[in-house]
Chains A and B, each alone.
Chain A
Amino acid sequence: AQSVTQPDIHITVSEGASLELRCNYSYGATPYLFWYVQSPGQGLQLLLKYFSGDTLVQGIKGFEAEFKRSQSSFNLRKPSVHWSDAAEYFCAIRLTGNQFYFGTGTSLTVIP
């Protein structure tokens, strides 16, 4: 069965430090891959997506993600975290227009 795993439930980083959020998926082929961010009281906002081509994808707010087929991973990174990045982050895969699978999310806390 298809699934998305985000192994880190909660991560705390210092402002200015680098960040990497992990995402692994289970699917027989390469799905469409997404990272979303959800701030408190808000809906999900798309950070970036990967369909094909260059495996390093740039997104909004200084985020990037790298697709590694051999590891079935799509990890999200940011070189220097800002306090405003504190939020919940969701990795998702899309197999068809109507098959969308999300991970359970990683909560990010940023300390001054």
Chain B
Amino acid sequence: ETGVTQTPRHLVMGMTNKKSLKCEQHLGHNAMYWYKQSAKKPLELMFVYSLEERVENNSVPSRFSPECPNSSHLFLHLHTLQPEDSALYLCASSQDTGLAYEQYFGPGTRLTVT
């Protein structure tokens, strides 16, 4: 595997379910990010991790819970979601969180909340 991978690619869950999204980067980067991409809306940065520490939480509801056990893996734990949470969730990584560092994106997980 190369680059940034995300599993699953598609997920359908009920509002009472608990599920997790997984992201893995094979680039040796120190920073990882979760984004939400909704139709007709700008991409929204949700969380930023640098060296496994959360450095940014952009007012994301607590029903989204990130976890970064090491610099290669990032999870997004989901519970009691709402239909408006249906979106494409993208993971990205970069060498560091500095301005000059390019972000590499995974293919995303298409989440549908029923």
Contact = CB atoms under 8 A, between A and B. Distances in A.
Interface string B31-64: 1000000001111010010000001100000000
Contacts of B45: 98-100
Interface residues of B, number: 24
A102 B107 CA distance: 17
Interface residues of A, number: 23
Contact of B99 (A42, A46, A96): A96
Contacts of A45: 105
B42 A44 contact: no
Given A43-B90, A46-B102, A97-B99, A4 B4 contact: no
B108 A98 contact: no
Contacts of B102: 46, 49
A90 B40 CA distance: 12
B48 A98 contact: yes
Interface string A43-63: 111100101000000000000
A6 to B, nearest CB: 9
Interface in A63-101: 90, 92, 94, 96-101
B80 interface: no
A104 B56 contact: no
Nearest to A104: B42
B40 A104 contact: yes
Interface of B: 4, 31, 40-43, 45, 48, 55-56, 90, 92, 96-103, 105-108
19 contacts: A32-B100, A41-B107, A43-B4, A43-B92, A43-B106, A43-B108, A44-B43, A44-B103, A45-B105, A92-B43, A96-B99, A97-B96, A97-B99, A97-B101, A98-B48, A98-B55, A102-B43, A104-B40, A104-B42
